[in-house]
Copies of this chain bind each other. A is one copy, B any other.
Amino acid sequence: MTANARKPRTRIQQKNTAAILEAALDVFSSRGFRGSTVDQIAKAAGLSKPNLLYYFPSKEAIHRELLGGLLDTWLAPLHAMKAEGDPLEEIMAYVRRKLEMSREMPRESRLFANEVLQGAPNLEGVLKEHLKPLVDEKAAVIQSWSAAGRIAPVHPYHLLFSIWSLTQHYADFDVQVRAVLPQSEAGDPFPEAARHVDAMFRKMLTPGG
């Protein structure tokens, strides 16, 4: 059977497609789609360019596969926010998970950031078909919590935006954060970041106050 099919069959195919995607994540996330070359990805994956193109039909195909494959991972934390839980704790857990992801998966964050920043040419469909429905659903949940007085009144969509921006900032603008922070913190900005972000949303959401 042909190599470019949906699921890899042989061990070599599994190993190589995995290596390619890993390498592509590295390259695409740090240089953007247009700024990356197939050769860079091939070299990073330990393959020759024609060999890489034996597994994926084109540079764009690698990119699409990457984005698609990562999307679920990326949206999982928001999925995990349940209407049944304690409102403040659900949201704070979401914030915490997002910040952890910025720390553990900065390349993924930058990959999406690069894409969105440049007008999301290969992501517009996904944005409206996957992200928007999910956000609509969770915004409604937040709205209901807010209306019930279980958290302070907030604009649910902008609350989500502020969670995304605050947490992803530490992955996407990592160089800036480290360049600006005093020596003592530049090594690992995350502990203080966690405290700060936690405080911000706690104050924002605690009712009454």
What is A's interface to B at a CB cutoff of 8 Å?
30-35, 110, 113-114, 116-120, 124, 127-128, 131-132, 135-136, 154-155, 157-162, 164-166, 168-170, 172-173, 175-177, 179-182, 185, 192-193, 195-197, 199-200, 203-204, 209
Which residues of chain B come closer than 8 Å to A119, judged between CB atoms?
30, 175
Q: A124-B179, A157-B192, A165-B165 are in contact. List 12 more A-B contacts (CB 8 A).
A: A32-B34, A34-B35, A35-B35, A127-B180, A131-B180, A135-B180, A155-B195, A157-B185, A158-B193, A158-B197, A165-B166, A204-B204
Q: How many copies does the complex hold?
A: 2
The answer to whether residues A157 and B182 also contact, given A35-B33, A166-B165, A204-B203 and a CB cut-off of 8 A, is yes
**Partner among B110, B116, B185 whose Cβ is within 8 Å of the Cβ of A173:** B116
